[in-house]
Amino acid sequence: MSKSTQSPALKTDLRPATIAIVGVGSVGATTAYTLQLSGMVADIVLIDINKDKAEGEFMDLNHAAPMTTETQVRVGDYPDCADAAIVIITGGANQKPGQTRMELAAKNAKIMEEIIPNVVKYAPDTILLIATNPVDVLTYASYKLSGFPASRIIGSGTLLDSTRLRCNIGRYYGISSDSVEASIIGEHGDSELAVWSRATIAGMSLAEFSAATQQKYNKESLHKIFEHTRDAAYNIIKRKGYTAYGIAAALTRIVEAILRDEGSLLTVSIVGNYYGVKDVALSVPTKVGRDGAHHIMDLILNQDETDRMKSSAKKIRSACESLGLD
């Protein structure tokens, strides 16, 4: 947003904030740019083991600053997290074509063992926002490594998946995704599930909306929509090698909910007890505001969805146990 079009609400609704980003690869750099364009934060600190990469991104972002907002960008190290309201963790190995997110677990859990204690040392009151995959496992790992309350360890979870689902449903029905209420919950990965029993358009179930608009309600087509949503990252990585724009937008949305103290219900991942499975990180609609994220309810699901949700939770729990994260 340019200075000339910046709204008064943007200036008054937000407290000046520093955001630190640990890991300035494709996701970290794109997130920094998205935050810079948003004008929501005063200061962005870039931290990366590759100092030259961080310096290069800093220089490039600085050249965009005069044409965007007055957000300051700088290169720093862990001590520079001290004033950060939120520390976004994007560092870690990238998912390769054909590789599942869970196959990254051991490697990226080791990286978290280096990152999290260093952040906590200098920023004991910050909120950690985890984007590195497998995000649910690493959200749990960060919870254990940090000693923070669960509310201050937020994984990006299935927020992007839920957005993709609403977009795909909107395209299927030929309407704006803004009119669609639908969620992906569970693991951000292969065991995630679409909550079709709670999906609505204009307050109507999909079956009711189909009948009202004289469109065929086709469960097979809806399942294909889910598969397209679930496999989106695989298809993008196969073609360009990585994903960045969607997850950067999702992270910026979470930052906004925190800094504005919105209390928005977002499908982010936090540690809790879900559907009879204890002490696991996964996504359900979760209240997000200035003091972090709080699991306030379990969605009322049908029996099939409940069974699949328990299976998803157990899969994540098993992965955590296999890494010794107990």
Res 98: pLDDT: 73
- Cα separation, 249 vs 321, whole angstroms: 31
Instruction: Give the end-to-end CA distance of the chain in Å, rounded to a whole number.
Output: 44
Paired with 18 in beta bridges are 43, 84
Q: Is 108 annotated as a binding residue?
A: yes
Q: What is the pLDDT of residue 325?
A: 86
**26 known member of a binding site:** yes
Marked catalytic residue, from 63, 188, 223, 295: 188
24 is an annotated ligand-binding site residue: yes
pLDDT < 70: residue spans in the chain: 1-15
DSSP sequence for 94-156: PPPTT--SGGGHHHHHHHHHHHHHHHHHH-TT-EEEE-SSSHHHHHHHHHHHH---GGGEEE-
For 188-238, write each residue's pLDDT tens digit: 999 999 999 999 999 999 999 999 999 988 899 999 999 999 999 999 999
Whether 188 is catalytic is yes
Tell me the domains of the chain and their CATH numbers: 18-155 (3.40.50.720), 158-323 (3.90.110.10)
Instruction: Look at residue 326 in the predicted model and tell me its pLDDT.
Output: 77
Phi and psi at residue 43, to the nearest 5°: -150, 130
Return the residue matching tokens 């985890």. Answer: 130
Separation between Cα atoms, residue 174 and residue 130, nearest integer Å: 34
Q: Is 28 part of any known ligand binding site?
A: yes
C-alpha 127, offset from chain centre? 14
What is the model's pLDDT at position 9?
Answer: 38
In this prediction the pTM is 0.93
pLDDT of 117 reads 98
3-class state of residue 320 by DSSP:
helix
Q: Is 48 annotated as a binding residue?
A: yes
Residue-wise pLDDT for 270-302, tens only, equals 999 999 999 999 999 999 999 999 999 999 999
Residues in Cβ contact with 43 at an 8 Å cutoff, skipping those fewer than 6 apart? 16, 17, 18, 19, 71, 72, 73, 74, 83
Was 23 annotated as part of a binding site? Answer: yes
